[in-house]
């Protein structure tokens, strides 16, 4: 990556302060009903992402990731709960608000490389499309911005190639340039490495990280790949339609100047005090049906029931 945060030739989207909430979901529920059968894809999901943060939402197939992303991208509405993104209440948008929201508030990178780029345009022309639609700046300024964006993503050398003449990783990096061309406040990436090999995936994740650092765009990556957590400071695990645990990574430097990467796992506590125990804890102690809780001075103890039955009245 060739542009540092200090050198970024466009505004860093951090003017309102880094602590503001850019994505705020509260108690999101999405129920799908087909043939009389109800599926609760989201079961009261809470998620807060602060302005400028880079967060990965990770979960197994069927955990509700796509449902969440469809809501955040304004393509679907929750059955209950609230979702506010960059100050826009996604539940009360008019049709016109929705078009504006999808055109300028959020940028998207999809899993299918073919879905991100127009196949008959070159990389540079693809990046120019959102700038032309937004009519931002003069012709010369738009051309300069296209060049800056492609260079920032390390794909300046494929500017004149059509998508079919690029590798999958190059296509995804051009797709990121397209997604941030209109300076959206939020970048949503749906399995952006799903069609790539391991080495190329790392390149694309690092490109997302660099763009987030250089432009300050709040970035949410949704993926089933737990390896993503090595590339982001915060990973939120989604399980059965709710956020269950979070891994926070940070770099510590000791008194000898040696760097150490520290990853800590936390359980997510919702507003009414519910939390999900990690599956390996549950299995290790064979926790089932009900557990004993004890409040200690500085922690809460969870122990197996010990009676081996759940029937009432025994
Ligand atoms: N349109 C729909 N109609 C009925 N059920 C649906 C619909 N969309 C999703 N579901 C169900 O909701 C649950 C969550 O689906 P979702 O696609 O959000 O999961 P996911 O984590 O994105 O999975 P994957 O990684 O396989 O895409 C699943 O049980 C799924 O079958």
Give the CATH number, domain containing residue 184: 3.40.50.300
- Ligand 1 centre to CA of 41 (Å) is 6
Q: Is residue 257 part of a domain?
A: no
Closest CA to 93 of 64, 118, 71, 69: 71
- Ligand 1 centre to CA of 63 (Å) is 7
Q: Is residue 200 part of a domain?
A: yes
Question: Whole-model pTM?
Answer: 0.84
Q: Are residues 288 and 221 in the same domain?
A: no
Window from 17-26, 62-71, 96-105 with minimum mean pLDDT: 17-26
Q: Are residues 164 and 307 in the same domain?
A: no
Q: Is residue 64 part of a domain?
A: yes
Q: Are residues 214 and 294 in the same domain?
A: no
Q: Are residues 300 and 166 in the same domain?
A: no
Please provide the average confidence, as pLDDT, over all residues in the chain.
86
Q: What is the pLDDT of residues 59-93, one digit of tens each?
A: 998 899 999 999 999 999 999 999 999 999 999 99
Report the domain count for the chain.
2
CA-nearest residue, atom 11 of ligand 1: 41
Q: What is the DSSP string of the chain?
A: ----TTT-SS--S-TT-TTSEEEEEEEEEEEEEETTEEEEEEEEEEEEEETT-EEEEE--TTSSHHHHHHHHTTSS--SEEEEEETTEETTS--HHHHHHIIIIIEEEE-SSHHHHS-TTS-HHHHHHHHHHHHT-S-HHHHHHHHHHHHHHTT-GGGTT--GGGS-HHHHHHHHHHHHHHT--SEEEEESTTTTS-HHHHHHHHHHHHHHHHHH--EEEEEES-GGGGGTSSEEEEEETTEEEEEEEEEEEE-TT--EEEEEEEEE---TTS--PPPHHHHHHTT-BSBEEEEE-SS-EEEEE-SS----TT-
Q: Is residue 10 part of a domain?
A: no
CA-nearest residue, atom 16 of ligand 1: 64
Residue with the bigger pLDDT between 65 and 261: it is 65
Q: Is residue 292 part of a domain?
A: yes
- Ligand 1 centre to CA of 237 (Å) is 16
Does the pLDDT value for residue 150 go beyond 80? yes
Q: Are residues 52 and 123 in the same domain?
A: yes
Q: Are residues 306 and 226 in the same domain?
A: no
Instruction: Return the pLDDT at 307.
Output: 67
Q: Give the ligand 1 atom nearest the CA of 224.
A: 25
Q: Are residues 140 and 235 in the same domain?
A: yes
Q: Are residues 175 and 282 in the same domain?
A: no
Q: Is residue 79 part of a domain?
A: yes
- Ligand 1 centre to CA of 17 (Å) is 35
Pocket (CB within 6 angstroms of ligand 1): 32, 34, 39, 41, 59, 61-67, 224
Instruction: Return the pLDDT at 227.
Output: 81
Instruction: Return the pLDDT at 49.
Output: 95
Distance CA 198, CA 226 (A): 12
Decide: residue 12, CB within 10 A, 0-12 exposed, 13-18 middle, 19+ buried.
middle
Q: Which residue segment(s) compose the domain that 281 sits in?
A: 277-314
Q: What percent of the chain has pLDDT over 90?
A: 54
CA-nearest residue, atom 2 of ligand 1: 32
Distance CA 188, CA 293 (A): 39
- Ligand 1 centre to CA of 88 (Å) is 25
Q: Is residue 103 part of a domain?
A: yes
Choose which residue among 33, 37, 64, 194 to substitute to test ligand 1 binding: the one with the highest number of ligand atoms within 8 A of its C-beta. 64
CA-nearest residue, atom 6 of ligand 1: 32
Q: Are residues 281 and 243 in the same domain?
A: no
Q: How many other CB atoms sit within 10 Å of the CB of residue 191?
A: 20
Q: Are residues 192 and 306 in the same domain?
A: no
CA-nearest residue, atom 18 of ligand 1: 64
Q: Give the ligand 1 atom nearest the CA of 42.
A: 14
Q: Are residues 185 and 64 in the same domain?
A: yes
Q: Is residue 86 part of a domain?
A: yes
Instruction: Return the pLDDT at 9.
Output: 37
Q: How many other CB atoms sit within 10 Å of the CB of residue 6?
A: 7
Q: Are residues 243 and 283 in the same domain?
A: no
Q: What is the pLDDT of residues 29-41, one digit of tens each?
A: 999 988 889 999 9
């Amino acid at each position: 990556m060739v542009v540092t945060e200090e050198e970024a030739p466009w505004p860093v989207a951090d003017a309102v302060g880094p602590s503001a909430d850019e994505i705020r979901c509260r108690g999101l529920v999405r129920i799908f009903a087909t043939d009389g059968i109800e599926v609760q894809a989201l079961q009261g999901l809470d998620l807060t992402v602060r302005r400028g943060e880079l967060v990965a939402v990770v979960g197994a197939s069927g955990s509700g990731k796509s449902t969440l992303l469809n809501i955040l991208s304004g393509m679907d509405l929750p059955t209950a709960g609230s979702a506010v993104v960059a100050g826009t209440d996604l539940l009360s948008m008019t049709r016109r608000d929705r078009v504006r929201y999808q055109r300028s508030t959020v940028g998207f990178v999809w899993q299918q490389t073919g879905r991100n780029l127009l196949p008959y345009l070159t990389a540079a022309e693809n990046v120019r499309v959102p700038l032309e639609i937004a009519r931002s700046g003069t012709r010369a300024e738009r051309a300069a911005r296209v060049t800056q964006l492609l260079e920032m993503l390390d794909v300046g050398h494929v500017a004149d190639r059509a998508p079919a003449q690029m590798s999958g990783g190059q296509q995804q990096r051009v797709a990121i340039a397209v997604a941030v061309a209109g300076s959206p406040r939020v970048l949503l990436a749906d399995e952006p490495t799903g069609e790539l090999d391991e080495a190329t995936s790392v390149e694309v994740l690092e490109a997302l990280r660099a763009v987030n650092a250089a432009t300050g765009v709040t970035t949410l990556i949704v993926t089933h790949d737990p390896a993503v957590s090595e590339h982001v400071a915060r990973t939120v695990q989604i399980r059965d339609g709710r956020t269950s645990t979070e891994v926070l990574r940070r770099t510590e430097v000791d008194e000898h100047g040696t760097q150490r990467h520290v990853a800590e796992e936390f359980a997510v506590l919702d507003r009414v005090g519910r939390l999900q125990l990690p599956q390996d804890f549950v299995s290790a102690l064979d926790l089932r049906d009900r557990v004993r809780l004890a409040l200690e001075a500085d922690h809460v103890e969870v122990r197996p029931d010990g009676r081996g039955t759940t029937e009432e009245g025994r």
